[in-house]
Copies of this chain bind each other. A is one copy, B any other.
Amino acid sequence: MEFNEVLSKRRSIRKFSEQPVDRSLLLSLVEKAALAPTASNLQAWRFCIIDDPALVRKVDLFSPGLSGKPPVIIAVCSDYGYALARGCGENYKIYGCIMDASMAAENLMLAATNAGLGTCAIKSYNEPAVRKLLHLPETLHLELLISIGYPETEPRMPRRKSIEEISFFNTWEEKGNE
């Protein structure tokens, strides 16, 4: 698809069909996620692709934010141990890893849209429970979950603020907000 079409077609999907998603397609999404910017080319991002139906159901149980019975969930993680070993300070650990993971997640969700898939990013889950289900080692920090599957619905674009409401030139005063 054209870039702008993908951008405007992406929606948060909360109802999925039962159709499974090919592993090769899922791996291609991760490949595209990893084209996102990453400070100092660190690439501390790690992607756990959950496509075992029983495990998806269990993660779903501990994730109030998830809905629509997705056939796949990708857990986007950051390897804090790896980041620290490469000289990243605490500040980077907190902010850099979240930012890198979020930008990669956005790439992944756009790439999924381009492939006819639907996604929804969520932060609402029982972190210790999900970590345990995925057997994540201590070094891997869970940043967010993304549900993935073929959409059953085509939600409308939620109302977005006008450009004037969210942007200003140069200084806050120019917005007339003194």
CB proximity to B under 8 Å, residues A124-178: 133-137, 140, 143-144, 158-161, 163, 166-173, 177
* A83 on interface, CB distance cutoff 8 Å: no
Listed in ascending order, the chain A residues whose CB lies under 8 Å from chain B are 1-8, 10, 12, 23, 27, 30-32, 34-37, 39, 41, 43, 45-52, 55, 92, 95-96, 98-99, 102-103, 105-107, 109-111, 114, 120-121, 123, 133-137, 140, 143-144, 158-161, 163, 166-173, 177
Verify B166–A4 contact, CB threshold 8 A: no
Contacts of A3 in B (CB 8 A): 1-3, 5-6, 110-111, 114
Contacts of A43 in B (CB 8 A): 160-161, 166
Contacts of A169 in B (CB 8 A): 23, 48-52
Contacts of A106 in B (CB 8 A): 36-37, 102-103, 106-107
CB-CB nearest 4 A-B residue pairs: A102-B102, A103-B106, A47-B167, A106-B106
Separation in Å of the A159 CB from the closest CB of chain B?
7
Query: If the complex has contacts A2-B2, A3-B2, A177-B137, are A168 and B103 also in contact, measured as CB distance less than 8 A?
Result: no
CA A36 to CA B108, docked complex, whole Å:
12
Query: If the complex has contacts A46-B166, A137-B177, A160-B34, are A114 and B27 also in contact, measured as CB distance less than 8 A?
Result: no
CA A99 to CA B97, docked complex, whole Å:
10
